[in-house]
Structure 1
Amino acid sequence: MNYENVLSEFQNGITTITINRPKKLNALNSDTIQELHDAFEEADNNEDTKVIIITGSGEKAFVAGADISEFAHFSVNEGGQLAAQGQALLFDFVENLSTPVIAAVNGFALGGGLELAMSCHFRVASSNARMGLPETSLGVIPGYGGTQRLPQLVGKGRAMEMIMTAGMIDAKQALSYGLVNHVVEQDELLGLCDKIASKIMKNSSVAIGKAIKAINANYKDGKDGYKVEIKQFGKCFGTEDFVEGTTAFLEKRKADFPGK
Protein backbone atom coordinates (compact mmCIF):
# COMPACT_ATOMS: atom_id res chain seq x y z
CA MET A 1 0.00 0.00 0.00
CA ASN A 2 1.25 3.49 -0.87
CA TYR A 3 1.11 6.27 1.72
CA GLU A 4 1.62 10.02 1.52
CA ASN A 5 2.94 10.64 5.04
CA VAL A 6 4.24 7.20 6.05
CA LEU A 7 6.88 4.80 4.79
CA SER A 8 6.58 1.06 5.44
CA GLU A 9 9.40 -1.39 4.74
CA PHE A 10 9.52 -5.12 5.43
CA GLN A 11 12.78 -7.02 5.80
CA ASN A 12 13.75 -10.23 7.60
CA GLY A 13 10.61 -10.48 9.69
CA ILE A 14 10.61 -6.80 10.71
CA THR A 15 8.30 -4.09 9.37
CA THR A 16 9.73 -0.62 9.94
CA ILE A 17 7.15 2.17 9.78
CA THR A 18 8.55 5.68 9.37
CA ILE A 19 6.49 8.84 9.83
CA ASN A 20 7.62 10.90 6.86
CA ARG A 21 6.80 14.58 7.40
CA PRO A 22 10.29 15.96 8.14
CA LYS A 23 9.40 19.57 7.24
CA LYS A 24 6.65 19.43 9.91
CA LEU A 25 8.92 17.52 12.33
CA ASN A 26 6.63 14.55 11.69
CA ALA A 27 3.69 16.21 13.46
CA LEU A 28 0.52 14.14 13.58
CA ASN A 29 -2.45 15.33 11.56
CA SER A 30 -5.63 13.40 10.84
CA ASP A 31 -4.34 12.03 7.54
CA THR A 32 -1.13 10.77 9.16
CA ILE A 33 -3.04 9.12 12.01
CA GLN A 34 -5.23 7.30 9.49
CA GLU A 35 -2.21 6.22 7.43
CA LEU A 36 -0.42 4.99 10.55
CA HIS A 37 -3.48 2.92 11.47
CA ASP A 38 -3.51 1.42 8.00
CA ALA A 39 0.25 0.72 8.04
CA PHE A 40 0.09 -0.94 11.47
CA GLU A 41 -2.93 -3.00 10.45
CA GLU A 42 -1.21 -4.11 7.24
CA ALA A 43 1.93 -5.13 9.14
CA ASP A 44 -0.03 -6.95 11.86
CA ASN A 45 -1.99 -8.88 9.23
CA ASN A 46 1.22 -9.98 7.50
CA GLU A 47 2.09 -13.39 8.97
CA ASP A 48 5.74 -12.84 8.07
CA THR A 49 5.96 -9.70 10.23
CA LYS A 50 7.11 -10.74 13.70
CA VAL A 51 8.09 -7.29 15.03
CA ILE A 52 7.10 -3.72 14.10
CA ILE A 53 9.44 -0.76 14.61
CA ILE A 54 8.03 2.78 14.45
CA THR A 55 10.29 5.81 14.01
CA GLY A 56 10.37 9.30 12.49
CA SER A 57 12.17 10.56 9.40
CA GLY A 58 15.14 12.88 9.72
CA GLU A 59 17.38 13.45 12.71
CA LYS A 60 15.36 16.01 14.67
CA ALA A 61 12.10 14.38 15.64
CA PHE A 62 10.23 11.16 16.23
CA VAL A 63 7.00 13.18 16.34
CA ALA A 64 7.11 16.78 17.54
CA GLY A 65 3.42 16.81 18.46
CA ALA A 66 0.02 17.17 16.87
CA ASP A 67 -0.86 19.57 14.07
CA ILE A 68 -2.46 22.29 16.22
CA SER A 69 -3.88 24.15 13.23
CA GLU A 70 -6.32 21.28 12.68
CA PHE A 71 -8.13 21.67 16.00
CA ALA A 72 -7.51 25.22 17.25
CA HIS A 73 -11.11 26.20 16.35
CA PHE A 74 -12.83 23.05 17.69
CA SER A 75 -15.87 23.09 20.00
CA VAL A 76 -16.22 21.04 23.19
CA ASN A 77 -17.95 18.20 21.34
CA GLU A 78 -15.46 18.28 18.48
CA GLY A 79 -12.57 18.15 20.94
CA GLY A 80 -14.02 15.11 22.67
CA GLN A 81 -14.58 13.38 19.35
CA LEU A 82 -10.99 14.15 18.29
CA ALA A 83 -9.61 12.40 21.36
CA ALA A 84 -12.00 9.45 21.18
CA GLN A 85 -11.43 8.82 17.49
CA GLY A 86 -7.64 9.21 17.74
CA GLN A 87 -7.36 6.85 20.68
CA ALA A 88 -9.46 4.17 19.00
CA LEU A 89 -7.88 4.54 15.56
CA LEU A 90 -4.21 4.62 16.54
CA PHE A 91 -3.08 4.75 20.16
CA ASP A 92 -5.26 2.03 21.71
CA PHE A 93 -5.01 0.10 18.45
CA VAL A 94 -1.20 -0.02 18.65
CA GLU A 95 -1.18 -0.92 22.34
CA ASN A 96 -3.42 -3.92 21.73
CA LEU A 97 -1.70 -5.33 18.64
CA SER A 98 -0.57 -8.94 19.03
CA THR A 99 2.62 -8.10 17.09
CA PRO A 100 5.29 -6.48 19.30
CA VAL A 101 5.83 -2.78 18.55
CA ILE A 102 9.10 -1.01 19.40
CA ALA A 103 9.26 2.80 19.30
CA ALA A 104 12.63 4.04 18.03
CA VAL A 105 12.54 7.58 19.43
CA ASN A 106 14.95 9.61 17.30
CA GLY A 107 14.72 13.17 18.64
CA PHE A 108 11.72 15.15 19.88
CA ALA A 109 8.73 13.11 21.09
CA LEU A 110 6.28 15.72 22.31
CA GLY A 111 2.54 15.68 22.91
CA GLY A 112 0.96 13.19 20.55
CA GLY A 113 4.43 11.98 19.65
CA LEU A 114 5.19 10.87 23.19
CA GLU A 115 1.69 9.45 23.45
CA LEU A 116 2.35 7.38 20.33
CA ALA A 117 5.67 6.16 21.74
CA MET A 118 3.98 5.25 25.02
CA SER A 119 1.31 3.24 23.22
CA CYS A 120 4.06 1.02 21.80
CA HIS A 121 5.10 -2.02 23.81
CA PHE A 122 8.42 -0.46 24.73
CA ARG A 123 10.76 2.34 23.70
CA VAL A 124 14.40 2.81 22.68
CA ALA A 125 15.74 6.37 22.42
CA SER A 126 18.60 8.17 20.75
CA SER A 127 20.81 10.26 23.02
CA ASN A 128 19.43 13.49 21.53
CA ALA A 129 15.79 12.56 22.28
CA ARG A 130 13.65 15.00 24.23
CA MET A 131 10.25 13.98 25.59
CA GLY A 132 7.33 15.79 27.12
CA LEU A 133 3.61 16.54 27.20
CA PRO A 134 3.34 20.32 26.69
CA GLU A 135 -0.44 20.43 26.26
CA THR A 136 -1.20 22.47 29.42
CA SER A 137 0.84 25.33 27.92
CA LEU A 138 -1.84 25.43 25.19
CA GLY A 139 -4.76 25.37 27.60
CA VAL A 140 -5.60 21.70 27.04
CA ILE A 141 -4.54 18.32 28.45
CA PRO A 142 -3.03 15.28 26.73
CA GLY A 143 -5.91 13.64 24.86
CA TYR A 144 -4.38 10.58 23.25
CA GLY A 145 -3.86 8.56 26.43
CA GLY A 146 -1.04 10.62 27.93
CA THR A 147 -2.64 11.17 31.34
CA GLN A 148 -3.12 7.40 31.66
CA ARG A 149 0.01 5.83 30.16
CA LEU A 150 2.59 8.26 31.54
CA PRO A 151 1.74 7.53 35.22
CA GLN A 152 1.78 3.79 34.45
CA LEU A 153 5.32 4.12 33.11
CA VAL A 154 6.96 6.74 35.36
CA GLY A 155 4.72 6.93 38.43
CA LYS A 156 2.03 9.39 39.46
CA GLY A 157 4.26 12.09 40.93
CA ARG A 158 6.63 12.33 37.98
CA ALA A 159 3.72 12.28 35.54
CA MET A 160 1.98 15.06 37.45
CA GLU A 161 5.14 17.18 37.33
CA MET A 162 5.77 16.58 33.62
CA ILE A 163 2.18 17.40 32.67
CA MET A 164 1.78 20.38 35.01
CA THR A 165 5.09 22.02 34.04
CA ALA A 166 4.68 21.14 30.33
CA GLY A 167 8.45 20.62 30.36
CA MET A 168 10.73 18.25 28.52
CA ILE A 169 13.08 15.59 29.86
CA ASP A 170 16.16 14.34 28.06
CA ALA A 171 16.97 10.76 27.12
CA LYS A 172 19.09 10.13 30.21
CA GLN A 173 16.28 11.26 32.50
CA ALA A 174 13.74 9.24 30.50
CA LEU A 175 15.92 6.17 31.04
CA SER A 176 16.14 6.78 34.78
CA TYR A 177 12.34 7.23 34.92
CA GLY A 178 11.75 3.93 33.10
CA LEU A 179 10.08 5.73 30.19
CA VAL A 180 12.58 4.18 27.77
CA ASN A 181 14.44 0.87 27.99
CA HIS A 182 17.70 1.87 26.28
CA VAL A 183 19.54 4.99 25.11
CA VAL A 184 22.12 4.91 22.30
CA GLU A 185 23.66 7.32 19.83
CA GLN A 186 21.34 8.17 16.97
CA ASP A 187 23.30 6.23 14.34
CA GLU A 188 23.00 3.11 16.51
CA LEU A 189 19.26 3.43 17.22
CA LEU A 190 17.69 1.31 14.50
CA GLY A 191 20.53 -1.21 14.74
CA LEU A 192 19.76 -1.82 18.41
CA CYS A 193 16.04 -2.06 17.69
CA ASP A 194 16.77 -4.64 14.98
CA LYS A 195 18.96 -6.57 17.44
CA ILE A 196 16.21 -6.65 20.05
CA ALA A 197 13.68 -7.62 17.38
CA SER A 198 15.91 -10.52 16.34
CA LYS A 199 15.87 -11.81 19.93
CA ILE A 200 12.09 -11.51 20.06
CA MET A 201 11.70 -13.41 16.79
CA LYS A 202 13.47 -16.46 18.23
CA ASN A 203 10.47 -17.01 20.50
CA SER A 204 6.86 -18.00 19.89
CA SER A 205 4.92 -15.20 18.22
CA VAL A 206 1.69 -16.81 19.44
CA ALA A 207 2.88 -16.83 23.06
CA ILE A 208 4.13 -13.24 22.75
CA GLY A 209 0.72 -12.09 21.51
CA LYS A 210 -0.97 -13.75 24.47
CA ALA A 211 1.58 -12.23 26.87
CA ILE A 212 0.82 -8.75 25.49
CA LYS A 213 -2.89 -9.31 26.13
CA ALA A 214 -2.26 -10.51 29.70
CA ILE A 215 0.12 -7.66 30.56
CA ASN A 216 -2.22 -5.01 29.16
CA ALA A 217 -5.15 -6.42 31.15
CA ASN A 218 -3.52 -5.31 34.41
CA TYR A 219 -3.89 -1.68 33.32
CA LYS A 220 -7.55 -1.77 32.28
CA ASP A 221 -10.47 -0.95 34.55
CA GLY A 222 -12.72 -3.88 35.28
CA LYS A 223 -10.12 -6.43 34.18
CA ASP A 224 -8.55 -9.01 36.49
CA GLY A 225 -5.07 -9.42 35.05
CA TYR A 226 -4.51 -12.69 36.89
CA LYS A 227 -7.63 -14.22 35.38
CA VAL A 228 -6.61 -13.05 31.91
CA GLU A 229 -3.17 -14.55 32.45
CA ILE A 230 -4.67 -17.90 33.48
CA LYS A 231 -6.93 -17.93 30.41
CA GLN A 232 -4.12 -17.00 27.99
CA PHE A 233 -1.75 -19.48 29.66
CA GLY A 234 -4.30 -22.24 29.14
CA LYS A 235 -4.82 -21.28 25.49
CA CYS A 236 -1.10 -21.73 24.84
CA PHE A 237 -1.48 -25.47 25.43
CA GLY A 238 -3.63 -25.75 22.32
CA THR A 239 -1.07 -24.20 19.96
CA GLU A 240 1.44 -25.76 17.58
CA ASP A 241 4.07 -23.42 19.04
CA PHE A 242 3.61 -25.04 22.46
CA VAL A 243 4.08 -28.52 21.00
CA GLU A 244 7.20 -27.41 19.13
CA GLY A 245 8.65 -25.48 22.08
CA THR A 246 8.25 -28.25 24.63
CA THR A 247 9.34 -30.95 22.17
CA ALA A 248 12.47 -28.98 21.24
CA PHE A 249 13.31 -28.49 24.92
CA LEU A 250 12.99 -32.21 25.67
CA GLU A 251 15.01 -33.08 22.56
CA LYS A 252 17.67 -30.49 23.54
CA ARG A 253 17.47 -28.54 20.28
CA LYS A 254 16.45 -25.05 19.26
CA ALA A 255 12.74 -24.59 18.62
CA ASP A 256 11.49 -23.75 15.14
CA PHE A 257 8.17 -22.14 15.91
CA PRO A 258 5.49 -22.30 13.17
CA GLY A 259 3.66 -19.29 14.62
CA LYS A 260 0.41 -21.20 15.06
Structure 2
Amino acid sequence: MRPGLPSPATWYEGRTSLDLLRGEAWAWIGLRSGDGLHRLHSDLLVALDRLLVELRWAGIRRLALSGAGWMTGQGHHFSAGADLHEVGALDASSAEPFARRGQRIMNHLLWPGWQSLTVISGVAMGGGCDLALHGQERWAVAANELGKGGLRLAHPAAKHGILTGFGGTVRLPELLGRKGADRLFRGFETWDEQTALQAGAAHRIVAPIGVADHAFEWLDPTGSRR
Protein backbone atom coordinates (compact mmCIF):
# COMPACT_ATOMS: atom_id res chain seq x y z
CA MET A 1 0.00 0.00 0.00
CA ARG A 2 1.31 3.44 -0.89
CA PRO A 3 2.12 5.77 2.03
CA GLY A 4 -0.69 8.16 2.94
CA LEU A 5 -3.47 5.89 1.77
CA PRO A 6 -5.83 3.97 4.06
CA SER A 7 -6.36 0.24 3.73
CA PRO A 8 -9.31 -0.76 1.53
CA ALA A 9 -12.62 -0.76 3.37
CA THR A 10 -15.16 -3.55 2.98
CA TRP A 11 -18.17 -1.94 1.31
CA TYR A 12 -20.13 -5.16 0.81
CA GLU A 13 -19.56 -8.64 2.26
CA GLY A 14 -20.95 -11.63 0.39
CA ARG A 15 -19.94 -14.69 -1.60
CA THR A 16 -18.05 -12.17 -3.70
CA SER A 17 -17.33 -9.01 -1.73
CA LEU A 18 -16.55 -5.41 -2.67
CA ASP A 19 -13.59 -3.54 -1.20
CA LEU A 20 -13.28 0.21 -1.72
CA LEU A 21 -10.54 2.81 -1.75
CA ARG A 22 -11.75 6.34 -2.26
CA GLY A 23 -10.35 9.82 -2.70
CA GLU A 24 -11.97 13.18 -3.31
CA ALA A 25 -12.73 12.55 -6.98
CA TRP A 26 -11.61 8.94 -7.52
CA ALA A 27 -12.54 5.46 -6.35
CA TRP A 28 -11.05 2.00 -6.73
CA ILE A 29 -13.36 -1.01 -6.35
CA GLY A 30 -11.87 -4.44 -5.68
CA LEU A 31 -13.60 -7.81 -6.10
CA ARG A 32 -12.77 -10.31 -3.34
CA SER A 33 -13.89 -13.90 -2.76
CA GLY A 34 -12.82 -16.99 -0.88
CA ASP A 35 -11.83 -18.96 -3.98
CA GLY A 36 -10.37 -15.93 -5.77
CA LEU A 37 -12.59 -16.31 -8.84
CA HIS A 38 -14.98 -13.44 -7.97
CA ARG A 39 -18.18 -14.77 -9.48
CA LEU A 40 -20.95 -12.33 -10.38
CA HIS A 41 -23.82 -13.47 -8.18
CA SER A 42 -27.14 -11.64 -8.24
CA ASP A 43 -26.57 -10.19 -4.79
CA LEU A 44 -23.19 -8.85 -5.87
CA LEU A 45 -24.70 -7.21 -8.96
CA VAL A 46 -27.30 -5.47 -6.79
CA ALA A 47 -24.62 -4.26 -4.36
CA LEU A 48 -22.29 -3.11 -7.15
CA ASP A 49 -25.14 -1.21 -8.81
CA ARG A 50 -25.85 0.60 -5.53
CA LEU A 51 -22.18 1.44 -5.05
CA LEU A 52 -21.74 2.80 -8.58
CA VAL A 53 -24.85 4.96 -8.22
CA GLU A 54 -23.49 6.30 -4.94
CA LEU A 55 -20.12 7.11 -6.50
CA ARG A 56 -21.73 8.86 -9.45
CA TRP A 57 -23.76 11.09 -7.14
CA ALA A 58 -20.67 11.76 -5.02
CA GLY A 59 -18.84 13.35 -7.94
CA ILE A 60 -16.31 10.59 -8.63
CA ARG A 61 -14.57 11.28 -11.93
CA ARG A 62 -12.08 8.41 -12.14
CA LEU A 63 -13.07 4.86 -11.30
CA ALA A 64 -10.98 1.67 -11.32
CA LEU A 65 -12.23 -1.91 -11.00
CA SER A 66 -10.02 -4.95 -10.40
CA GLY A 67 -9.45 -7.93 -8.20
CA ALA A 68 -8.99 -6.60 -4.68
CA GLY A 69 -5.51 -8.09 -4.31
CA TRP A 70 -4.02 -5.48 -6.64
CA MET A 71 -4.98 -2.70 -4.22
CA THR A 72 -2.40 -3.79 -1.68
CA GLY A 73 0.06 -5.93 -3.59
CA GLN A 74 -0.39 -9.10 -5.59
CA GLY A 75 -3.69 -9.92 -7.24
CA HIS A 76 -4.72 -12.83 -9.42
CA HIS A 77 -8.06 -13.31 -11.19
CA PHE A 78 -10.45 -10.62 -12.42
CA SER A 79 -13.72 -12.60 -12.57
CA ALA A 80 -14.85 -16.05 -13.66
CA GLY A 81 -18.22 -14.56 -14.61
CA ALA A 82 -21.73 -15.43 -13.50
CA ASP A 83 -22.24 -18.39 -11.20
CA LEU A 84 -23.26 -21.20 -13.56
CA HIS A 85 -25.37 -22.86 -10.85
CA GLU A 86 -27.39 -19.66 -10.55
CA VAL A 87 -27.59 -19.26 -14.32
CA GLY A 88 -28.72 -22.87 -14.69
CA ALA A 89 -31.64 -22.24 -12.35
CA LEU A 90 -32.97 -19.29 -14.35
CA ASP A 91 -36.24 -19.57 -16.24
CA ALA A 92 -38.04 -17.29 -18.68
CA SER A 93 -39.27 -15.07 -15.86
CA SER A 94 -36.07 -14.76 -13.84
CA ALA A 95 -33.55 -14.54 -16.69
CA GLU A 96 -34.55 -11.05 -17.78
CA PRO A 97 -34.09 -9.30 -14.41
CA PHE A 98 -30.82 -11.17 -13.92
CA ALA A 99 -29.54 -9.93 -17.28
CA ARG A 100 -30.72 -6.40 -16.59
CA ARG A 101 -28.79 -6.31 -13.31
CA GLY A 102 -25.64 -7.08 -15.26
CA GLN A 103 -26.45 -4.59 -17.99
CA ARG A 104 -26.86 -1.83 -15.40
CA ILE A 105 -23.31 -2.43 -14.20
CA MET A 106 -21.95 -2.33 -17.74
CA ASN A 107 -23.81 0.91 -18.46
CA HIS A 108 -22.39 2.49 -15.31
CA LEU A 109 -18.85 1.75 -16.46
CA LEU A 110 -19.55 3.43 -19.80
CA TRP A 111 -21.12 6.52 -18.21
CA PRO A 112 -19.55 9.57 -19.93
CA GLY A 113 -19.44 11.56 -16.68
CA TRP A 114 -16.35 9.69 -15.52
CA GLN A 115 -13.39 7.72 -16.82
CA SER A 116 -13.43 4.05 -15.92
CA LEU A 117 -10.52 1.62 -15.87
CA THR A 118 -10.63 -2.16 -15.64
CA VAL A 119 -7.42 -3.90 -14.56
CA ILE A 120 -7.84 -7.32 -16.19
CA SER A 121 -5.81 -10.20 -14.79
CA GLY A 122 -5.84 -13.97 -14.68
CA VAL A 123 -9.25 -15.44 -15.47
CA ALA A 124 -11.73 -13.04 -17.08
CA MET A 125 -14.39 -15.26 -18.60
CA GLY A 126 -18.04 -15.05 -19.60
CA GLY A 127 -19.71 -12.29 -17.64
CA GLY A 128 -16.27 -11.43 -16.26
CA CYS A 129 -15.11 -10.86 -19.84
CA ASP A 130 -18.13 -8.60 -20.40
CA LEU A 131 -17.30 -6.67 -17.22
CA ALA A 132 -13.64 -6.32 -18.14
CA LEU A 133 -14.32 -5.03 -21.64
CA HIS A 134 -16.80 -2.38 -20.49
CA GLY A 135 -14.01 -0.37 -18.92
CA GLN A 136 -13.45 2.79 -20.94
CA GLU A 137 -9.74 2.09 -20.45
CA ARG A 138 -8.49 -1.46 -20.08
CA TRP A 139 -5.17 -2.79 -18.83
CA ALA A 140 -4.05 -6.40 -19.08
CA VAL A 141 -1.73 -7.68 -16.36
CA ALA A 142 1.18 -9.69 -17.72
CA ALA A 143 2.43 -13.05 -16.48
CA ASN A 144 5.16 -12.97 -13.85
CA GLU A 145 8.83 -13.66 -14.48
CA LEU A 146 8.12 -17.39 -14.31
CA GLY A 147 5.42 -17.12 -16.97
CA LYS A 148 2.59 -17.72 -14.49
CA GLY A 149 -0.54 -15.70 -13.75
CA GLY A 150 -1.04 -14.26 -17.23
CA LEU A 151 -4.37 -13.20 -18.69
CA ARG A 152 -6.99 -15.76 -19.78
CA LEU A 153 -9.68 -13.68 -21.48
CA ALA A 154 -12.49 -15.79 -22.94
CA HIS A 155 -16.24 -15.96 -23.51
CA PRO A 156 -17.19 -19.66 -23.59
CA ALA A 157 -20.89 -19.17 -22.78
CA ALA A 158 -22.12 -20.79 -25.98
CA LYS A 159 -20.29 -23.99 -25.02
CA HIS A 160 -22.75 -24.25 -22.14
CA GLY A 161 -25.78 -23.37 -24.24
CA ILE A 162 -25.95 -19.91 -22.65
CA LEU A 163 -26.92 -16.74 -24.47
CA THR A 164 -24.96 -13.98 -22.76
CA GLY A 165 -27.14 -11.24 -21.32
CA PHE A 166 -24.74 -8.69 -19.80
CA GLY A 167 -24.07 -6.77 -23.02
CA GLY A 168 -21.01 -8.48 -24.44
CA THR A 169 -22.71 -9.21 -27.75
CA VAL A 170 -22.99 -5.43 -28.23
CA ARG A 171 -19.75 -4.27 -26.61
CA LEU A 172 -17.38 -6.75 -28.25
CA PRO A 173 -18.22 -5.87 -31.87
CA GLU A 174 -17.89 -2.18 -30.96
CA LEU A 175 -14.38 -2.74 -29.60
CA LEU A 176 -13.05 -5.59 -31.71
CA GLY A 177 -15.12 -5.55 -34.88
CA ARG A 178 -17.19 -8.50 -36.01
CA LYS A 179 -14.19 -10.73 -36.66
CA GLY A 180 -12.69 -10.06 -33.26
CA ALA A 181 -15.99 -10.65 -31.48
CA ASP A 182 -16.51 -13.89 -33.42
CA ARG A 183 -13.12 -15.12 -32.23
CA LEU A 184 -14.33 -14.95 -28.63
CA PHE A 185 -18.02 -15.77 -29.02
CA ARG A 186 -17.94 -18.33 -31.81
CA GLY A 187 -14.32 -19.45 -31.99
CA PHE A 188 -14.03 -19.87 -28.21
CA GLU A 189 -10.50 -18.49 -28.24
CA THR A 190 -8.70 -17.73 -24.98
CA TRP A 191 -6.53 -14.64 -25.20
CA ASP A 192 -3.39 -13.85 -23.28
CA GLU A 193 -2.32 -10.27 -22.64
CA GLN A 194 -0.44 -9.91 -25.92
CA THR A 195 -3.37 -11.16 -27.99
CA ALA A 196 -5.77 -8.90 -26.08
CA LEU A 197 -3.53 -5.91 -26.79
CA GLN A 198 -3.21 -6.73 -30.48
CA ALA A 199 -6.97 -7.28 -30.86
CA GLY A 200 -7.88 -4.00 -29.14
CA ALA A 201 -9.36 -5.58 -26.02
CA ALA A 202 -6.62 -3.98 -23.90
CA HIS A 203 -4.96 -0.58 -24.23
CA ARG A 204 -1.74 -1.50 -22.45
CA ILE A 205 0.03 -4.30 -20.63
CA VAL A 206 1.28 -3.74 -17.09
CA ALA A 207 3.70 -5.88 -15.13
CA PRO A 208 2.33 -7.56 -11.99
CA ILE A 209 4.91 -5.73 -9.90
CA GLY A 210 3.72 -2.13 -9.61
CA VAL A 211 0.09 -2.52 -10.67
CA ALA A 212 -1.04 -0.43 -7.68
CA ASP A 213 1.44 2.35 -8.45
CA HIS A 214 0.27 2.57 -12.06
CA ALA A 215 -3.38 2.50 -10.99
CA PHE A 216 -2.94 5.27 -8.40
CA GLU A 217 -1.10 7.41 -10.94
CA TRP A 218 -4.05 6.98 -13.30
CA LEU A 219 -6.67 7.56 -10.61
CA ASP A 220 -5.03 10.65 -9.14
CA PRO A 221 -2.69 12.18 -11.73
CA THR A 222 -2.11 15.25 -9.51
CA GLY A 223 -0.54 13.02 -6.86
CA SER A 224 -2.65 14.51 -4.06
CA ARG A 225 -3.99 11.06 -2.98
CA ARG A 226 -6.90 12.72 -1.23
* Range into which the TM-score falls when normalised by the shorter chain: 0.7 to 0.9
Pair 1:95-2:106 in alignment: no
**Equivalents in 2 of 1:97, 1:7: separation in Å?**
24
Partner of 2:87: 71
Q: Is the 8 A contact 1:44 1:97 kept in 2?
A: no
Q: Is the 8 A contact 2:27 2:219 kept in 1?
A: no
**Equivalents in 1 of 2:212, 2:156: separation in Å?**
27
In structure 2, do the counterparts of structure 1 residues 192 and 12 end up closer, same or farther at CA, with 3 Å as the change threshold?
farther
SS state at 1:62 partner: coil
Specify which structure has the higher proportion of helix: 1
RMSD after superposition: 2.0
Aligned length: 199
Partner of 2:121: 106
* 130, 136, 151: which one aligns with 1:115: 130
Partner of 2:40: 28
Q: Is the 8 A contact 2:109 2:134 kept in 1?
A: yes
C-alpha deviation, 1:113, in angstroms:
0.9
| Structure 2 unaligned regions, length at least 5 | 1-9, 70-74, 143-149
Q: Is the 8 A contact 1:17 1:39 kept in 2?
A: no
C-alpha deviation, 1:150, in angstroms:
0.7
Of all paired residues, the percent bearing the same amino acid is 24
**Equivalents in 1 of 2:189, 2:182: separation in Å?**
11
**Greater RCO structure (CA 8 Å; 6+ sep):** 2
TM-score calculated relative to the size of structure 1: 0.70
SS state at 2:65 partner: strand
Q: Is the 8 A contact 1:124 1:193 kept in 2?
A: no
C-alpha deviation, 1:22, in angstroms:
4.2
TM-score calculated relative to the size of structure 2: 0.80
Q: Is the 8 A contact 1:26 1:57 kept in 2?
A: no
| Structure 1 unaligned regions, length at least 5 | 203-260
C-alpha deviation, 1:26, in angstroms:
0.6
* 16, 27, 33: which one aligns with 2:28: 16
Amino acid at match of 2:141: S
* 49, 54, 58: which one aligns with 2:65: 54
